[in-house]
Amino acid sequence: MSSVQSSRFSLPGMYATGQAVMPGVVICITIALATSFISDHYGGPKMLYALLFGMTLHFLTEEGRCLAGVEFSSRTILRLGVALLGVRITLDQVAELGIGPIITVVLGVILTITMGAVLARMLGLSREMGLLTGGSVAICGASAALALSAVMPRSDVQERNTILTVVGVTTLSTIAMIVYPLITAALNLSDTNAGILIGGTIHDVAQVVGAGYIISNDAGDVSTMVKLLRVAMLVPAVMVFIFLFRKSRKESDSEKVPALPSFLVAFVVLVLINSMGWIPPVATEVFTNMSAWCLITAIAALGIKTSFKKLAIVGWKPVILMVAETIFLLLLVMACIHFGLAGL
């Protein structure tokens, strides 16, 4: 270990780092608290609120005292939040679903990400934008956008793409929470198939839970399990993204890129520990809430780092891309249900 690294992890070094990041972190946490209060009392998506609130404070990125904390929140706190998602998943939950929903979810993730890359090229957008939006739509919305972005090459364009993706998938997920239960009723789906459709298509976990239990308790249970299976697909997706962007990350990042990110290792370890029943329900709830708070704080930081002016120059193409990916995933899962694949 170099002298710089050892000084960073010494008590004086950690204290100095804490002092440096504290102002920015406090700002991001304050935004998270404010947006959570508004969402809990008046409704609406917390992450979208946090993003928009953060963007109104973009001027703080020009002020030195907050910049280090905003960067810390958008990277370290983000990765902690993604890692803690592992406490929501067990291997038994995956096995209980049966092979049909697993095949449906795997097909949905692979084909939607591929479709995203193809559509992005057709629209004249970058491959990175197509892969990021496709992964977010296919896996778990804003959380996936943050996790996948964390292993992609860092740049101003990439951060802007992440913000656009978070805004898009959060908005589409909120719309889907209202519309998709109506679709399941129109198709006269059973509770099980309705749960598979809801859990296999809606982007964010909170909206999946809301839409599933609107239909029935059974549909809500199935949709939650299917959704958590999609969350588990973060692991192979992140691994593939690391492979795809290994060269460009080495060129753009001064730090050495690990073969396997620590937050992904922590995610897998927590899934395994939770599968063994070693995490009590109280601790699971605590870690789940902590994960949510970390992700909202990270979203606030990303908002602070982004300006409305930069987003305005992007145009309508990313919106079309995300809408097309969402419709594609919906039609794919509906086809799997119709032809009996999801019921295997």
Closest alpha carbon to 341 in 137, 102, 180:
102
Is 51:236 a contact under the CB 8 Å cutoff? no
- Residues 34-63: what's their mean pLDDT? 85
Q: Work out the angle at residue 70's Cα, subtended by the Cα atoms of residues 116 and 293, and round it to the nearest 5 degrees.
A: 70
307 or 7: whose pLDDT is higher? 307
Q: Has residue 2 been placed in a domain?
A: no
- Give residue for tokens 């934008």: 129
Is 263:274 a contact under the CB 8 Å cutoff? no
Q: Has residue 46 been placed in a domain?
A: yes
Is 202:180 a contact under the CB 8 Å cutoff? yes
Q: Has residue 153 been placed in a domain?
A: yes
Q: Has residue 9 been placed in a domain?
A: no
Looking at 136-185, which runs of residues are DSSP E strands? none
Single-letter residue type at 6: S
Q: Work out the angle at residue 72's Cα, subtended by the Cα atoms of residues 269 and 153, and round it to the nearest 5 degrees.
A: 75
Alpha-carbon gap, residue 205 to 199, rounded angstroms: 8
Q: Has residue 6 been placed in a domain?
A: no
The continuous run of DSSP H or E covering 219 comes out as helix 217-232
Instruction: Name the pLDDT band for 166 (thresholds 50, 70, 90).
Output: confident
Q: Has residue 7 been placed in a domain?
A: no
C-beta atoms surrounding 292 within 10 Å: 20
Q: Has residue 63 been placed in a domain?
A: yes
Strand, helix or coil for residue 254: coil
pLDDT of 252 above 60: no
Instruction: Name the pLDDT band for 3 (thresholds 50, 70, 90).
Output: very low
Residue ranges in 276-338 assigned as alpha helix (H): 281-304, 308-312, 317-338
Q: Has residue 3 been placed in a domain?
A: no
Alpha-carbon gap, residue 5 to 251, rounded angstroms: 22
Instruction: Name the pLDDT band for 17 (thresholds 50, 70, 90).
Output: confident
Instruction: Name the pLDDT band for 264 (thresholds 50, 70, 90).
Output: confident
Instruction: Name the pLDDT band for 316 (thresholds 50, 70, 90).
Output: confident
The packing angle between helices 141-149 and 281-304, to 10°, is 70
Question: How does the average pLDDT of the chain come out, rounded?
Answer: 85
Alpha-carbon gap, residue 204 to 45, rounded angstroms: 10
Closest alpha carbon to 70 in 62, 78, 57, 61:
61
pLDDT of 16 above 90: no
pLDDT of 188 above 90: yes
pLDDT of residue 273: 94
pLDDT of residue 86: 84
Q: Residue 35's domain spans which residues?
A: 22-251+258-339
Is 326:137 a contact under the CB 8 Å cutoff? yes
Q: What's the full length of the chain, in residues?
A: 344
State how many domains the chain has: 1
Least confident of 26-40, 74-88, 254-268, 293-307: 254-268
Instruction: Name the pLDDT band for 45 (thresholds 50, 70, 90).
Output: confident
